[in-house]
Structure formats: C-alpha cells, structure tokens
C-alpha cells in the first residue's frame, strides 16, 4: 500500500485543496468525507461564506457545507500541515486570447512557500502540455528550497467537473491521473480512488494528462461550432435547425450536438491553451481556431436576429424594450465567467437598446462588479417588446406562454418578438398563436 495514501487513510497526514471555486470546493468536500482536509482560498469573503455554511457556487449545497469536516481557511500557513496538495485555481485567457498562467503561478509560489519534505503536489488547473513540469515545478523548487523528485513529487489530474450537473458529478466521472514517476502515480491514483467511484485512468505521463484535458474540450468546441455554422446557413435558407437535427439524430451514430452560446471557463477557453503551445512549436491551428471564431461570433449572430425581428415587428429599434432571460454561461449555475450573453447585450447597446436582464441564479453583486449590469426581478418587468430566452434555467423552463405573454406591451401577437436561443418553447404553439418567433 502506498505510504502517503496509507497515512491519509489513517488521518496521520492531511490533504490541502488550494482554490475553493466550482472545482476545488466539491473536491474538498468529497475528500472531507474520507480524510482530514484543509480548504484554502485567498478570497476571505468566500472562505467566510463557507465557514457560515453557505455554498455560493450551488455545486454541493449549503447542507453539505454545514456538515463537512473541511477546515476552510485563508491562512496559507495552514497548508504546511498537509502532505498531499491539490491545486485547483482557474486558468483564464488574456484579452489577446493567450493563456493567463498568473493564477497557477501564484498558487505554485504559495504552495512552495509552505511545502515540506515528503509532499505530493497535484495540479488540476487546465494548462497546455508542459506547464506542470516546465513552469510549476521550478517555482515550487525555488520557493521551497526543496528538490523535486527527491524531496517532493508532482502530478497532474485534470478537473472534469461539469458545473450545474447533478448527475455527472465528481464521484461519477472517471478521473485521469498522472505522476512524475511510478511511485507518485500510484500514490495519486490511490488517493483519488478514495472519492472517485467511477475509477481512475492512469495516463502515461503528465503531458499526456495535460493534453487530454485541453483536447476533450477542444473536440466539444469544434462539434458545437459545426452546429453553429449550420444554424447560420439554415437561417439564410429559412430552414429550422432544430428540425434538421432531430431528423439527423434518428441515425445511430449521430453525435447529438446542438448550436448555442459557448462560454464558461472550459470549452470557451481551453482550445486557446492548446493552440498557443502548438503555435510556439511552429504549427498554426486550422480547425480549432476556426471553430473558436465561429463560437465567439455567435453573440453577434443572435443580436442581429433580435434586431431583424424587431424591425419585422415594426418597432423603433432604439426605443425597443428588450428582456433577456439568463446571464450565466450555462443553465442552473450562478457562474457568469466568460458568458457569451454579454456579447448580445453589448451588441444591442450599440443600437441604443439597454436591455433588462433577469437571472435568478446569478449573484447580483458579482454581476454588478464584473459587468456593470443591474439584474432585475422578473416580477417587476412589464411592457416589453422582445423576450430573449438565453439560458435554460429551471425557473425559465417552467414559465408557460401565458406568463411570458403577460410581460409584453399591449399589442397584437405578431408585434411581440420571442428569441429562443435554447429552443425551450414549443415552436408550433408559439407560431400558431402568431408571435414573431425565432430560435437558434
């Protein structure tokens, strides 16, 4: 039995999780059921919420936070008490679409300052192949004064958490694990097996594990881009995209992808990490970058559709009152990072439209500070000219057509515009009642 794993099992050694966001916090909670865990984050306010039994991410819920044995802290000295460290900080992109490694570099410095002999550091943050060994290990060595391979070991295990998904949870998704050598790989694999019911996949190297993460999200990005391109073409052909997809999906090997806004911190970001490293090696991406451009432009396509429908409804565009239902990057999560709904809002503002935005899942204060948008309550909305359904939150899916109709100004149905980005409504019923309806 691997030595460190055995000590963790006997609670003679602790696990630390650095970064308590949508990825780190569920990991900390899961391990907290099996081991002594220190949950660290530099955000004092976030740590305070966890200590108060509040889950701002809605990933595990307040009850799980209240019941956990995890020690939440913003005191980095507490990290010294642990021997198995999991780094789960975000890895965003810069304005020029290049990787922003500052969070993972700073986390490495923090861990390095508090690293002790015999420790293992596992990175979960999404990076391009080579970052763990070429960038993170030197930082750990410099800050700790220790030698990697002799005094401590390093591994990589890419996060696969799907925010808002209550079925495909951390425990139910196979975990890719890797280590710098056979010994560290076995230790890391056994530790993760404590919480991963679906089991682990041992990658041949750290670089293979790093590549697997960026590639699996790039693959999904490209497939959605294909559907988005079809949607743009079918729109010109006056063909309903969803009707085509439903017909196509009757074949056994159809992939089941749909068009949509591709945002968030994974699919909308990870392909740029892969492309960045490929270009450093002299290869210019053709398929991946093309897919990214299509998906990044979908906000423009949807906002153009809104403007066209307002004109068809004989509305004065500049005076039109537009309601947007949903701001988060996906349904049933408060996460607004890299939300492409923002692109729609910004484009509408260029036409003089300042839309009303409603999202019961998003954090009002966070939205205000990041985007400068004041979220409204649906109960206060009335007399709109256009409703844009952008995010399929449960609360929005439960709205029937009569409830949506009550939000419109008093006019004929053919002057009421409904833009259904997520195809939440029954097209036949909506069009039969005469609404000006458009769906992606």
Beta pairing partners, 388 = 324, 419
Is 411 an active-site residue? no
Catalytic residue chosen out of the listed positions 148, 266, 386, 411: 266
For 383, half-sphere exposure in the C-beta direction (CA atoms, 13 angstrom radius) is 2
Q: Are 25 and 56 in contact (CB under 8 A)?
A: no
Rounded Cα distance, 90 and 125, in Å: 6
Q: Longest C-alpha distance within the chain, in Å? A: 76
Q: Which residue has the tokens 């609360």?
A: 395
**Hey, which residues are catalytic here?**
266
């Amino acid at each position: 039995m691997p030595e460190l794993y055995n000590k963790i099992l006997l609670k003679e050694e602790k696990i630390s999780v650095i970064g308590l966001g949508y990825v780190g916090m569920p990991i900390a909670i899961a391990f907290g059921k099996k081991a002594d865990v220190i949950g660290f984050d530099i955000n004092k306010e976030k740590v305070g919420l966890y200590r108060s039994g509040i889950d701002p991410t809605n990933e595990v819920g307040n009850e799980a936070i209240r019941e956990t044995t995890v020690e939440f802290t913003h005191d980095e000295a507490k990290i010294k008490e642990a021997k198995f460290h999991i780094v789960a900080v975000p890895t965003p992109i810069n304005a020029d679409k290049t990787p922003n490694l500052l969070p993972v570099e700073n986390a490495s410095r923090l861990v390095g300052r508090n690293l002790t002999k015999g420790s293992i550091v596992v990175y979960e943050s999404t990076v391009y192949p080579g970052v763990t060994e070429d960038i993170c290990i030197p930082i750990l060595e410099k800050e700790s004064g220790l030698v990697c391979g002799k005094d401590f070991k390093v591994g990589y295990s890419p996060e696969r958490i799907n925010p808002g998904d209550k079925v495909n949870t951390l425990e139910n998704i196979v975990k890719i694990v890797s280590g710098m050598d056979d010994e560290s790989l076995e230790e890391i694999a056994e530790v993760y097996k404590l919480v991963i019911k679906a089991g682990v996949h041992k990658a041949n190297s750290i670089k293979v594990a790093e590549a697997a993460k960026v590639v699996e999200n790039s693959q999904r990005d490209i497939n959605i881009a294909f559907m988005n391109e079809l949607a743009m073409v079918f729109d010109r052909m006056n063909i309903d995209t969803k009707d085509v997809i439903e017909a196509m999906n009757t074949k056994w090997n159809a992939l089941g992808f749909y068009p949509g806004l591709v945002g968030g911190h994974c699919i909308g970001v990870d392909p740029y990490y892969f492309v960045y490293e490929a270009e450093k090696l002299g290869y210019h991406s053709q398929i991946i970058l093309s897919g990214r451009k299509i998906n990044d432009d979908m906000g423009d396509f949807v906002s153009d559709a809104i403007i066209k429908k307002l004109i068809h409804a004989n509305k004065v565009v500049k005076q039109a009152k537009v309601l947007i239902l949903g701001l988060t990057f996906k349904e049933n999560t408060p996460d607004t990072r890299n939300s492409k709904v923002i692109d729609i809002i910004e484009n509408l503002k260029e036409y003089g439209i300042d839309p009303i935005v409603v999202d019961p899942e998003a954090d009002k204060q966070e939205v205000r500070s990041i985007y400068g948008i004041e979220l409204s309550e649906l109960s206060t909305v009335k007399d709109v000219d256009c409703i844009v359904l952008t995010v399929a939150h449960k609360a929005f899916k439960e709205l029937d057509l009569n409830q949506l109709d009550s939000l419109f100004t008093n006019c004929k149905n053919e002057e009421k515009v409904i833009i259904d980005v997520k195809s939440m409504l029954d097209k036949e019923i909506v069009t039969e009642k005469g609404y000006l309806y458009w769906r992606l």
